[in-house]
Amino acid sequence: MQTLIYGAGVVGQAMGNSFLKSNRLYPGKFSDGILFHDPDKGYDISEENVDNVECILICVPTPFDKTDGIDFSFVFSCLKHIDGLCIGTHVPIIIKSTVMPGTTRKLAERFPALSIFFSPEFLTEDTAQYDAVHPARQIVGYSLDSRAVKAQMLLDRLPAAPFKSIMSSSAAELVKYYSNCFFATKVAFANQMFDIAQKHGIDYDDLYIAACADPMIASEHLEIFHKGFRGFSGKCLPKDLKALIWHMDQIGVDTKILKEVDRYNEELLATGEE
Sort strands 92-95 and 69-70 into parallel, antiparallel or unpaired: unpaired
- The string of pLDDT tens digits covering residues 240-271 is 999 999 999 999 999 999 999 999 999 999 88
Separation in Å, CA 135 to CA 33, 152, 155, 238? 21, 17, 13, 23
Residue ranges of domains in the chain: 2-169, 175-271
Tell me yes or no: is domain 2-169 CATH 1.10.150.20: no
- The string of pLDDT tens digits covering residues 19-58 is 776 653 333 444 458 889 999 988 888 766 778 888 999 9
CATH code matching the domain that covers 175-271, chosen among 1.10.132.20, 2.60.40.10, 3.90.1140.10, 1.10.1040.10? 1.10.1040.10
First to last CA, the chain: 51
Give CA–CA dist 240/229, Å, rounded: 20
- The string of pLDDT tens digits covering residues 213-226 is 999 999 999 999 88
| Contact in structure between 40 and 32 (CB atoms under 8 Å) | no
The pTM assigned to this predicted structure is 0.90
